[in-house]
Amino acid sequence: MRIAMIGTGYVGLVSGACLSEFGHEVVCIDKDQAKIAELNKGRVPIFEPGLDEVVAANARAGRLSFACDLSAAVSQADAVFIAVGTPSRRGDGHADLSFVFGAAEEIARALDGYTVVVTKSTVPVGTGRKVEDIIRKLRPTAEFDVASNPEFLREGSAIEDFRRPDRIVVGAETERARNVLKEVYRPLYLNETPIVFTSRETSELIKYAANAFLATKITFINEMADLCEKVGADVQEVARGIGLDGRIGGKFLHAGPGFGGSCFPKDTLALLKTSQDANAPVRIVETVVAVNESRKARMAEKIIEAFGGVKGKTIAVLGLTFKPNTDDMRDAPSLVIVPKLQAEGARIRAYDPEGAHEAKKVLEVETCEDAYEALAGADGVVILTEWNEFRALDLERVKGLLKKPLMVDLRNIYRPAQMAEAGFTYVSVGRATVG
Ligand code: UGA
């Protein structure tokens, strides 16, 4: 099967590479000539574990290629995926669909023979219909269907998520389109991965509902963490105690500094706009957005309090990205926390295993080559992202490097008892402060 993937951002690149691994012939298209030139040299512009290898192996096998010419790829394709960006539109939180509609116009001009056009970008309900209208208007007699196929990949584990998804969601209006998508996902279909075939609108909403629900779960446990701190309970035990109930489930119940990234903040906002336009408010999600936003600033206050004021102090910050195993800084809690600490007079020495380069573009921060370099001579350390390498720091060495043994751990990667024993003052989230 021949596939054209429009957009070589995160979703397009991972999906294109993994679909070629399924045996399809995939051309990934992007307007950015420099990026395509790099990809053709085997250089992958984002950090995602395992992606380099999948790209290299399939490019070598001749199944995966990169090009700027959309029309050649689309005219030969059985399925064309739209995986371009849908950023929040400036000012109102609506998803900006100009890239999606622009791609639809270009696809329309290039269609040749029956083709299924698939929106993979996260798009508001009703977008598939609009894409169909755009194409129909430009090419009234073209043979095509427009389907929705949202992705549920997590940054940092996207390759695994693609190979072994919990489910695939396909919104399609015709049997012909459904059959093409069944063929696209054939290896997974044979593996008995559940495929939810539904209408386009339902499929589009499933994506937003899933992300909003997960964001709600995180926000719920974050508020429970605040309550735990007040009443002397332990949020990790609360999470375990409720998560063992199969109806609740233990995942996405890690309290922390608030959710960030390229998806939850943008998608919850876009869902709110859709719900307001439809006059069907989703008040829970409204609250989730507000609570999460204020949480990041409150985390800075928590740090300031733990340090007894930060004016003139040096703080070692471990982790800047919104989560581990990515270099993505979009909506990372560090973007709120670090400037607030700096505004209060702190000097920040940060270390992030993969994010320093991206972080430098959005934060004015001194970065170090490793955790211990950041710690040397600092007044205390703050853990903002739970990279694995921070889980097993040599605590004696850490203590020796810091002016005072103070750790603020906003990801709860250490145990209070262990930290007390190691002689630290240890402040975490939703658990008792020790030392
Ligand atoms: C999220 C979803 O998990 C994916 O299913 C979805 O495909 C993707 O958005 C998307 O729409 O493209 P991602 O943004 O990569 O994936 O990251 P998550 O692992 O979901 O984490 C999001 C944020 O929530 C991070 O800031 C993370 O630190 C935070 N989080 C997550 C918590 O604070 N606690 C948790 O228990 C889990």
> pLDDT of 218-234, one tens digit each?
999 999 999 999 999 99
Position 243 scores a pLDDT of: 98
Residue 90 has pLDDT above 80, yes or no: no
CB of 433 closer than 8 Å to CB of 228: no
Residue 142 has pLDDT above 90, yes or no: yes
Q: What is the mean pLDDT of residues 316-334?
A: 96
Position 91 scores a pLDDT of: 67
What domains appear along the chain, each with residue ranges and CATH number? 2-198 (3.40.50.720), 208-289 (1.10.1040.10), 292-427 (3.40.50.720)
Q: Pick the atom of ligand 1 nearest to 153's CA.
A: 7
Structural tokens at position 291? 């609570």
Distance in Å, CA 154 to ligand 1 centroid: 6
Q: Which of the 8 DSSP states describes residue 9?
A: S
Query: What gap in Å lies between CA 160 and CA 379, rounded to an integer?
Result: 40
Position 92 scores a pLDDT of: 75
Distance in Å, CA 260 to ligand 1 centroid: 7
Cβ of 157 less than 6 Å from ligand 1? no
Alpha helices of 139-185 — where are they, by DSSP H? 158-163, 175-184
Q: Pick the atom of ligand 1 nearest to 257's CA.
A: 33
Position 296 scores a pLDDT of: 96
Going by DSSP bridges, is the β-strand pair 79-82/115-119 parallel, antiparallel, or unpaired?
parallel
Distance in Å, CA 334 to ligand 1 centroid: 16
CA 397 to chain centre: 34
Cβ of 218 less than 6 Å from ligand 1? yes
Banded model confidence at residue 325, pLDDT cuts 50, 70, 90: very high
Q: In the predicted model, what is the mean pLDDT of the chain?
A: 96
CB of 76 closer than 8 Å to CB of 114: no
Task: Using alpha carbons, select from 161, 159, 190, 119 the residue that is nearest to residue 18.
Answer: 159
pTM for the whole thing? 0.94
Q: What is the mean pLDDT of residues 321-336?
A: 95
Q: Quick count: other Cβ atoms within 10 Å of Cβ 385?
A: 27
- Does residue 368 carry a catalytic annotation? no
For residues 109-123, b (16+ Cβ closer than 10 Å) or e, as one string?
ebbeeebbbbbbbbb
Cβ of 151 less than 6 Å from ligand 1? yes
Distance in Å, CA 12 to ligand 1 centroid: 18
Query: What gap in Å lies between CA 87 and CA 81, rounded to an integer?
Result: 18
Tell me whether residue 396 is exposed, middle or buried, using C-beta atoms within 10 angstroms of its C-beta: 0 to 12, 13 to 18, 19 or more.
exposed
Task: Using alpha carbons, select from 94, 5, 92, 97 the residue that is nearest to residue 55.
Answer: 5
Residue-wise pLDDT for 373-401, tens only, equals 999 999 999 999 999 999 999 999 999 99
Banded model confidence at residue 95, pLDDT cuts 50, 70, 90: confident
Going by DSSP bridges, is the β-strand pair 79-82/168-171 parallel, antiparallel, or unpaired?
unpaired
Cβ of 426 less than 6 Å from ligand 1? no
Q: What is the mean pLDDT of residues 134-140?
A: 97
Q: Pick the atom of ligand 1 nearest to 152's CA.
A: 7
Query: What gap in Å lies between CA 355 and CA 47, rounded to an integer?
Result: 9
Residue 425 has pLDDT above 80, yes or no: yes
Cβ of 124 less than 6 Å from ligand 1? no
Residue-wise pLDDT for 32-51, tens only, equals 999 999 999 999 999 899 99
Q: What is the mean pLDDT of residues 178-189?
A: 95
Which one of 18, 28, 228, 263 is the catalytic residue? 263
CB of 44 closer than 8 Å to CB of 33: no
Alpha helices of 256-282 — where are they, by DSSP H? 264-277
Q: Ligand 1, from 154, 266, 321, 326: best to mutate by most atoms within 8 Å of Cβ?
A: 154
Give the residue, by CA position, lying nearest to ligand 1 atom 5: 152
Q: Could you tell me the strand order of the sheet in which 425-427 lies?
A: 366-367, 347-351, 314-318, 380-383, 406-409, 425-427
Contacts 24+ apart (CB under 8 A), 83-86: 83/5, 83/6, 83/7, 83/9, 83/11, 83/12, 83/15, 83/16, 83/120, 83/121, 84/6, 84/7, 84/9, 84/12, 84/121, 85/7, 85/9, 85/121, 86/121, 86/122, 86/123, 86/266, 86/270
Q: What is the mean pLDDT of residues 264-282?
A: 94
Element (H, E) at 302: helix 283-306
CB of 348 closer than 8 Å to CB of 317: yes
Q: Pick the atom of ligand 1 nearest to 158's CA.
A: 15
For residues 195-215, b (16+ Cβ closer than 10 Å) or e, as one string?
bebbebeebbbbbbebbbebb
**Residues above pLDDT 70, as percent of the chain:** 100
